[in-house]
Structure 1
Amino acid sequence: MNAEVFMRLAIEEARKSKTPFGAVIVKDNRIVECSHVQLLQSNLSKEQEAKLREDFGS
């Protein structure tokens, strides 16, 4: 396999998600892992979220 094949697999992974991010990890020309972004829903209140942003600077 070549880099183009691996890139196409990463794009296919990205299409499984609502966000355009996918990845294929390759070692010695073999696929080790394929994945895509999986968003988690937060159950934090707006106040808790604001406090975390303040504490961690994001």
Structure 2
Amino acid sequence: MQPTTLIHGALDEDVPVAYSRRYSARHPAVHLHELAGIGHLDLVDPASPAFAALVAALVR
């Protein structure tokens, strides 16, 4: 498996963060960035602090 980064808001009510935790635990090439206090759509709202965190994680 290629190196993969998952970015998941800890308060996501649409897709439980447990899914990403399990997936990353089973695949050593997967790195999970879990963002505390962030919901599902916060990651795509440019006005949200989560959006800046997402961009920073993608730049790395």
Do the structures match in fold with TM over 0.5? no
Q: TM-score normalised by the shorter chain: which range applies? A: under 0.3
Bigger Rg, structure 1 or 2:
1
Question: What TM-score comes out, normalization by structure 2 length?
Answer: 0.25
Greater relative contact order: 1 or 2 (C-alpha under 8 angstroms, separation 6 or more)?
2
TM-score, length basis structure 1: 0.26
